Amino acid sequence: MSFIDDAFGTGIRPADVFELAPHPTFCFHTENCLVYRNKAARAVFGVDSLPRILGAENYDTMLRGLKRAKRSSIPTKYRIEHDNQVYLFHTWRTPQLAGRDVSLIISSAEKIARGTTNSIALSVARKETAAERERARVRIRQLKSEAAHLKRLASTDALTNLLNARAFMERLQEDQPRRGCLLYVDLDCFKTINDTHGHVAGDAVLQRAAGALAAGARSEDPVGRLGGDEFAIWARGLRKEEAEGLKHRLAEKIAEPFSWRDSKGGELMLVVRASIGIAEAEEGQTVSELISEADFDMYQGKNSRRTSLDPGRARELPMPAAPVKRAD
């Protein structure tokens, strides 16, 4: 990922933040290299190189403005004429990007009338007032907040507000190698609830189960929805014996009956149970192997419980292939 793809240390591209801004906006590397222009900039100034679009004199003015912004801790301004219009460029330097010794220079253009008294000379920047500096700081904070919000949306399951599968797998991968246990959760007979009461009831069950998992897990442990009615918890630092206690507490919490109203106002008591498998991370084990082991353990528990309730259904549930243990 390049520095421009991670401009705010959030994994969100500047295009996600600036693309729909009403004013033409340009992003420059601190070496004056143009790395991005938004939709308004493309509409007003085109997509050709800036020296060709602006001409030598105007482009030189822009470079001087960028140089001032690079050295200054407050926004600067410069003025350029283009297609018989005058544009006042507000230009500022962002803080250093997260984990990198580099900043961006942001330059946003505002069309002004000729002879505007508060416009500046081409090569002289006036000092900003305290109010203007504060407005710039507020806007930068807003942009960072918007970028962080977009990152949260990209990593969150919309129905349950847990981590989505991609984000959970990334957290799990980042933690390896590390001691801990993966708990693999699958709701029992979930299809029956969907078929009997409809998908709205099914969604309510998923949300209820997700809430139980989030409440039962420790604050430092990632909890995610892997898809459908399958969830996972990465219990950092726990041994399998300790994770067994967590497993039983979670299963009991999920199995608590809860009241749900259908679209006609009828009230139902819904109950769902979960099968939970555990795999303790081992040295040299891949994430895929860890998940397969937890998945296998979950299916063993599910089949064992079905067999105890109805021996005739012992072979009804297909088992995944047993995980292959690494040789010592």
* pLDDT tens-place string over residues 126-177: 455 777 778 888 888 888 887 777 766 678 898 999 999 999 999 898 887 7
Whether residue 245 sits in one domain with residue 175 = yes
- For residue 327, is it within any domain? no
Domain end point (choices 155, 183, 198): 155
- For residue 125, is it within any domain? yes
Q: Any idea which of 76-85, 206-215, 249-258 has the lowest mean pLDDT?
A: 76-85
pLDDT value of position 213: 95
Whether residue 309 sits in one domain with residue 173 = yes
- For residue 283, is it within any domain? yes
The string of pLDDT tens digits covering residues 269-291 is: 888 899 999 999 988 888 999 99
Whether residue 300 sits in one domain with residue 226 = yes
Q: Which range of residues forms the domain containing residue 138?
A: 4-155
Q: Any idea which of 29-38, 43-52, 164-173, 315-324 has the lowest mean pLDDT?
A: 315-324
Residue owning tokens 């998940």: 291
Name the domain count of the chain: 2
Instruction: pLDDT band for 101, please (50, 70, 90 cuts).
Output: low
Whether residue 173 sits in one domain with residue 277 = yes
- For residue 324, is it within any domain? no
Q: Any idea which of 48-52, 141-145, 263-267, 307-311 has the lowest mean pLDDT?
A: 307-311
Instruction: pLDDT band for 264, please (50, 70, 90 cuts).
Output: confident
Whether residue 143 sits in one domain with residue 117 = yes
pLDDT value of position 36: 86
CB within 8 Å of 303: residues ≥ 6 apart: 314, 317, 319
Write down the mean pLDDT value for the chain.
81
> How far from 278 is each of 2, 180, 215, 235, CA to CA, in Å?
38, 10, 19, 10
Whole-number Å distance between alpha carbons of 23 and 177: 48
- For residue 89, is it within any domain? yes
Whether residue 150 sits in one domain with residue 267 = no
Whether residue 290 sits in one domain with residue 265 = yes
Domain end point (choices 155, 176, 205): 155
- For residue 234, is it within any domain? yes
Residue owning tokens 């004429």: 81
Burial of 184 by CB count in 10 Å (0-12 exposed, 13-18 middle, 19+ buried)?
buried
Whether residue 94 sits in one domain with residue 37 = yes
pTM, whole model, 2 decimals?
A: 0.52
Whether residue 235 sits in one domain with residue 215 = yes
Degrees to nearest 5, angle at CA 74 with 70 and 80: 70
Whether residue 146 sits in one domain with residue 128 = yes
pLDDT value of position 296: 94
8 A C-beta contact, residue 270 and residue 250: no
- For residue 72, is it within any domain? yes
Whether residue 150 sits in one domain with residue 9 = yes
Q: Is 153 helix (H, G, I), strand (E, B) or coil?
A: helix
Strand partners, 290: none
Which CATH number do you get for residue 185? 3.30.70.270
The string of pLDDT tens digits covering residues 218-249 is: 999 999 999 999 999 999 999 999 999 999 99
Domain end point (choices 101, 121, 155): 155
- Per-residue pLDDT at 294 exceeds 90: yes
pLDDT value of position 146: 78
Which CATH number do you get for residue 46? 3.30.450.20
Whether residue 60 sits in one domain with residue 189 = no
What end-to-end distance do the CA atoms of the chain give, in Å? Answer: 37
pLDDT value of position 261: 83
The string of pLDDT tens digits covering residues 181-199 is: 999 999 998 888 888 888 8
The first and second tokens of residue 219, run together, are 């604050």
- For residue 65, is it within any domain? yes
Q: Return the higher-pLDDT residue of 200 and 3.
A: 200
